[in-house]
Structure 1
Amino acid sequence: MKFCVLSSDPLYKYFEKGEIKPRYWNPEEIFDEVCVFSFCEQDIEPAKVQQLVGGARLHIVPIGPPNPLKLYQQYRRVRQVVGNFKPDLIRVHNPWHAGVVGVRAARAAGVPVLLSLHTHYGARRRLERRFLLQLLRVFERYSIRRADQVLCVSHYLSDYARKMGAKSVEVIYNRVYTEQFANCFPKEKKRPLILSVGRLDPPKDQACLVRAIQGLDADLLLVGDGVNRSKLEKLVEQLGLEGQVNFAGAVPHGDIQDYYARADLFAIATHYEGFCIPVLEAMAAGLPVVVSATEPLPEVLGGTGKVAELTPEGFHQAFAELLGKPQETALLSKAARKRAEGLDGALMEAREAALYQSLIKGGKQ
């Protein structure tokens, strides 16, 4: 079988961020060939990102950067390749440029199309009041309403999808394989370590965590990179926390478990999310987790950690409580690991493969 994907980001960005995950676009190896349309002029060599499609043959087709003025031109290019490639299924990774181009091309070719939602665009509009985001609402409605299936990575997003007119919605969490984090046991050390993993970009609020660490006998390690790094480094210097807050930069996905193994607590502060994979990774590592009261983080946590007010004071209090109550911390760790096992990546992968096969079967009837 053959599969086409319209990705949100060029594949070289996945590679640079260390986010090359096994079989991401080929669950349970159900496809023999995968063609990825990339919104850039030139993308990475297929061999460097082969893991994304497992054992399938990978084709990468750059179609130029997202540009509303070139949508029709990009559609024609995708339509041409789809006509020659003859996929059994098309997946688009957002309801904007990828959605409009991919959904229309799929309709023209008579191929079933799945649209995956990873962000709550309504929440983003409320926080980022940019005119372009308001205009893109038209793209969202067009794509979501015309997709044969909308795949959401949280129940929180499924409500948004239905509000936008989705005719069929399925919720499958992002894949985190607990086996990767099976040996994350805490190490003996002088001071507790609080870990936060995530890009140093909006909507994340690592500054909240930096301020929250003040006055605590604990260190903070920030894993990730992004446009806010220099601002965060200046904040650390201003607060005199150079010996307490450290930056690890971007870490390849295959090495991330080593950082969870060093930590005693995990924390993330963010203004909006679609899922937040690091929360589930921390749970798989058996770490007590503190998240901001931002959906869908409490949904993912499922009552196995602490939900804090999105303020330095709120996180400081949560940190102090967990660091001062080792018995409660141990119970939360056990509960988090158990919930993560119930959401294991292998289970999500099987559900995703079954969904694909159902769509393909329905498209051939």
Structure 2
Amino acid sequence: MENKINKGKNLKSFKILQISKLYYPWIGGVERNLQVFAESIKDKTNIKILCCEVKGKTKLEKINDIEVLKSLSFGLFLSIPISPLFPFHYKKLTKESDLIHYHSLFPLGEVMEILLNPGKRKVVTLHYERLTRNYLMNLYKPLLRSFFKRMDLIIVPSRSFLNSKLLSGFEGKTEIIPFGIDMKKFELTQEVREIRDKIKKEYGFPILLFVGNLLPYKGLYYLIKAMREINGNLLIIGDGPQRKELVELTQKYGLIKKVHFLGRKSFKELIYFYHACDVFVLPSLYESFGNVQLEAMACGKPVVNTNIPTGVPEVSIHEQTGLTVPPEDSSALSQAINRLIENHEERIRYGEKARERVKNFFSIESVSEKILSLYEKLLL
């Protein structure tokens, strides 16, 4: 134990730079993962974050005691920040740093690594390994392969990533470390209990919950169709370009009293809804990991997810913490959801096992310790 503490203190003398496309308060899977991780190691390392603004001037901020430099951006094009000053900030901060930890996919950061080649220790966490536009991914792959060659270590969140051709040949320097969450933030406090009860009173039983961006690959089309066979309320938290189409689909099927579009919610508000729901549903056609199911599981909720070849079914396990169904199958979704609605004991048992699984395998404390251990191997 003493040796581990001494190593932790030694890390404090090294400057570690995290590079990501965006950061809090932008809410997305990558940004949320990085924030939780960064805040868990801020007292053990000398950490800074370099990212871009969604749109706006350069800002140097302190966010929960972490220094964050957000480079000027004129907005996003194909989800990539248009940030002409990013190379300047990148060159300055990487020169000052001892270790660079990239959070990919982030083309701007990867191009900077290839062009400027800072001679530092380098780690990348691959948060997802494909783009929604396949033709862009085909153009992007050679750049990513070149980028991976320059890394000392590649971190992936699940075993499924090892099957990706993108990582072929890099198995020797690839580590599987899942994303983690801070269990303390999902506790059922008195405040959470009171607001949870208000939500339950408003929507009744059962409450089904979806959280995410409204995009075709999220599979909401199939979930809304499934609601024709389900006697309950579906709460959809999130927004995006598919909203209009999904609202029209809801109206077409006469589901406006059962399907509720609630828009975006803050992280604090999300916790109320996680605790209020009876079943959490992740009907994605593609999703690298599905952090939102982790968050629902931390609140003791069973999950209905899809059997896609990614980390999603590795997080919530079929017949243990919920049910897994084929993607693009409204009938299978409705059957799984109805089974959990109609079987109280099974629903509660899966929820309890879900919380236990998160505590045992996905706590941010254990995840951070594994990554800090990798930092130590590279720096000490």
- Smaller-chain TM-score bracket: 0.7 to 0.9
What is the CA deviation profile of residues 70-129 of structure 1, one whole-angstrom value per residue up to 9, with x for unaligned ones?
A: 99x878635631465x101112222552453343367x43211111111122xx57xx44
- The 3-state SS of whatever aligns with 2:161 is helix
Judged with a 3 Å threshold, the aligned counterparts in structure 2 of structure 1 residues 67 and 230 are, in CA distance, closer, same or farther, namely closer
Q: Which residue is equivalent to 1:306?
A: 323
Q: Which amino acid aligns with 2:379?
A: I
Q: Which residue is equivalent to 1:296?
A: 311
Q: Which amino acid aligns with 1:171?
A: I
Equivalent runs, 1:97-246 vs 2, <5 Å = 97-104=107-114, 108-121=117-130, 124=131, 128-130=133-135, 132-160=136-164, 162-163=167-168, 165=170, 167-183=172-188, 187=197, 189=201, 190-246=204-260
1:39 offset after TM fit, Å? 7.3
Taking structure 2 as the reference length, what is the TM-score of the superposition?
0.80
1:287 and 1:336 in contact (8 A); partners too: yes
Equivalent runs, 1:44-55 vs 2, <5 Å = 45-47=59-61, 50-51=62-63, 54-55=64-65
Equivalent residue for 1:87, pick from 97, 113, 116: 97
The whole-number CA distance in structure 2 between the counterparts of 1:167 and 1:102 is: 24
Q: Which residue is equivalent to 2:8?
A: none
- Kindly tell me the number of residue pairs found equivalent between the two proteins: 347
The whole-number CA distance in structure 1 between the counterparts of 2:224 and 2:293 is: 18
- Consecutive unaligned residues in structure 2, runs of 5 or more: 1-13
Q: Which residue is equivalent to 1:25?
A: 38
Q: Which amino acid aligns with 1:143?
A: F
The whole-number CA distance in structure 1 between the counterparts of 2:68 and 2:22 is: 16
The whole-number CA distance in structure 2 between the counterparts of 1:357 and 1:133 is: 33
The whole-number CA distance in structure 2 between the counterparts of 1:63 and 1:244 is: 40
Overall identity of the aligned pairs, in %: 21
Judged with a 3 Å threshold, the aligned counterparts in structure 2 of structure 1 residues 158 and 326 are, in CA distance, closer, same or farther, namely same
Judged with a 3 Å threshold, the aligned counterparts in structure 2 of structure 1 residues 358 and 23 are, in CA distance, closer, same or farther, namely farther
Equivalent runs, 1:312-327 vs 2, <5 Å = 312-327=330-345
1:5 aligns to 2:5 (yes or no): no
- The 3-state SS of whatever aligns with 1:173 is coil
Judged with a 3 Å threshold, the aligned counterparts in structure 2 of structure 1 residues 12 and 176 are, in CA distance, closer, same or farther, namely closer
Q: Which residue is equivalent to 1:251?
A: 265
Q: Which residue is equivalent to 2:300?
A: 286
1:75 and 1:101 in contact (8 A); partners too: no
Judged with a 3 Å threshold, the aligned counterparts in structure 2 of structure 1 residues 82 and 22 are, in CA distance, closer, same or farther, namely closer
Q: Which residue is equivalent to 1:333?
A: 351
Q: Which amino acid aligns with 1:116?
A: T
The whole-number CA distance in structure 2 between the counterparts of 1:33 and 1:2 is: 6
Judged with a 3 Å threshold, the aligned counterparts in structure 2 of structure 1 residues 337 and 96 are, in CA distance, closer, same or farther, namely closer
The whole-number CA distance in structure 1 between the counterparts of 2:341 and 2:212 is: 22
Bigger CA drift: 160-169 or 184-193?
Answer: 184-193
- The 3-state SS of whatever aligns with 1:109 is coil
Taking structure 1 as the reference length, what is the TM-score of the superposition?
0.83
- Consecutive unaligned residues in structure 1, runs of 5 or more: none
Bigger CA drift: 273-282 or 186-195?
Answer: 186-195
The whole-number CA distance in structure 2 between the counterparts of 1:149 and 1:66 is: 29
The whole-number CA distance in structure 2 between the counterparts of 1:66 and 1:206 is: 24
